[in-house]
Chain A
């Protein structure tokens, strides 16, 4: 199935490759892929170039159809794709956001060092495993009825705060302050709500995780300090999850609805999964309102998990939370569509920016950033795989000018889940990680094997490309010492 792509890309520089509009009739703009030459070879084997070209068909698309270096094969849109459309005559596509709406990452910093935490890592991971529900089919500890769920969908992080989960400061350092205002729970189906009710406050399965990490390299000490990260050996906690079954159902509902709208508005698409409707149409606005609800659910989810994480640390370490720290550095979403202002051909314009497996990367001085980060730019959280750690980067002016303020979101798969399982069994993956000093707890050894390091691109290569291309600046690298895998 993975036949070699037959098209041609033009080299712009060492990290930029263009798919010209001449590649395929119907492309409204060119495609732009951020990758090193070495990475390109792998991308070549997949259908991803074709998918980047297909996204360029979307009515009202401006700039270029973009692909981040962690790009991999998706459905409709590639994972790692960014597309911006004009509000006046452009479309919004649920496939350009994906099934896991507002899948994202939250980072907490601590006052702890690896020497203090390492001796207690087993107890910490065990306690976190109990306090944060994870795995396939797991149910949350939070019991809500539909009326309360509607408040979650409308209020996001604020609802969590009112229930005693998290702090007011958490919300300040969350993208969109943990709440998209367009949310309207009436635009969410009963089925989506039914899936959402039992899963609120759960990590989920697949590539979702909670990780205790240790800072091992700092590239820009001043900027790191502004994020509360002051030295090598400092402990951080990373939470990666999204909107669970509720988001999946919302995406499915609206791909179906907008699939019908495509015919009504006479839109020509090369792939049904790209189903879309004009942003300004009733269908487009309804999706935006429903997507915002799912995004708010995801922020609530991460906020509850952060709260239980703090409780677990206090319990196991026998210290106060003030001593431990665990303040939030930032929370980003990497599957989302946002209405943002950007400059296109020298003109300021409101656009609908789709980021599917891509992170917002706004530069210093941007008005949407909290005061704390206005001087350095927006923190970008880039999780890698279980063994190779993660990066913290900052947004740049170049990203604003070129990639609609976006950069990469993670490592990106290179191996199918089945291939990963064939090459290594879950127990072996656990043993390998243990030999490198990483404690892992999972409900499914099979899922552990699927998420093994060799199934992913090296996150360092991905971050190197975005750094050299100038669409984000790497600031800190951290490696895991304890992981909970759903």
Chain B
């Protein structure tokens, strides 16, 4: 079952978990959209303002691992600093390295309705691919 949230990403529902498929004209954009998809599960993106930003730098052996690490880093920042991200600029992606900046704000209980707690991004059915129209497509399943 696929719920179309916007053309940038889709949310896939499984029995116990939830996954996202995100698209982009390049891999950086697909990664940024996957991160937006993640936060759309946690709260309503429209309710989030951009009042702070965080620089994120990661290394991982391959693109798929980078995707998992990237999303887990954002879950970590939400869990420890209560940051809800709204927008992402992925400036470097490749050669086992990711550099990005995320924009958002800290949770404000009067304005943000928190929906689903996400435990982690998993390696299960994980994929990073490019289709015939040169659109990048990434897929990841979360444990919730």
Contacts and interface: CB of A to CB of B under 8 A. Distances in A.
Interface of A: 1-2, 46, 72-76, 79, 98-100, 135-137, 191, 194-195, 198-199, 204-206, 245, 248-249, 251-252, 255-256, 259-260, 271-273, 275, 413-419, 443-444, 446-447, 450, 486
Interface of B: 1-3, 11-18, 42, 60-61, 64-65, 68-69, 72, 75-76, 78-80, 82, 107, 113-117, 119-126, 141, 143-144
A356 to B, nearest CB: 11
Nearest to B73: A191
Contact of B15 (A194, A256, A260, A416): A416
Chain A residues touching B, majority SS: mixed
B119 A248 contact: yes
Given A252-B120, A446-B113, A259 B15 contact: no
Contacts of A72: 15-16
A204 B116 CA distance: 11
Contact of A275 (B78, B119, B123, B125): B123
A257 to B, nearest CB: 11
Contact of B80 (A46, A195, A272): A195
B60 to A, nearest CB: 8
A273 B16 contact: no
A272 B123 contact: yes
B16 A418 contact: no
Given A76-B124, A248-B119, A418 B11 contact: yes
Contacts of B65: 256, 259
A273 B14 contact: no
B114 A419 contact: no
Given A272-B126, A413-B15, A417-B144, A195 B76 contact: yes
**Which of the listed residues A136, A206, A249, A273 has the most CB atoms from chain B within 10 Å of its own CB?**
A136
A205 B42 CA distance: 12
B13 A137 contact: no
B29 to A, nearest CB: 24
Contacts of A413: 15-16
**Which of the listed residues A100, A249, A447, A486 has the most CB atoms from chain B within 10 Å of its own CB?**
A249
12 contacts: A73-B15, A99-B119, A136-B117, A205-B116, A245-B79, A256-B69, A260-B61, A271-B123, A272-B64, A272-B123, A273-B124, A443-B114
Nearest to B123: A272
A344 B11 CA distance: 44
Given A1-B12, A100-B119, A256-B65, A73 B17 contact: yes
Contacts of A275: 123
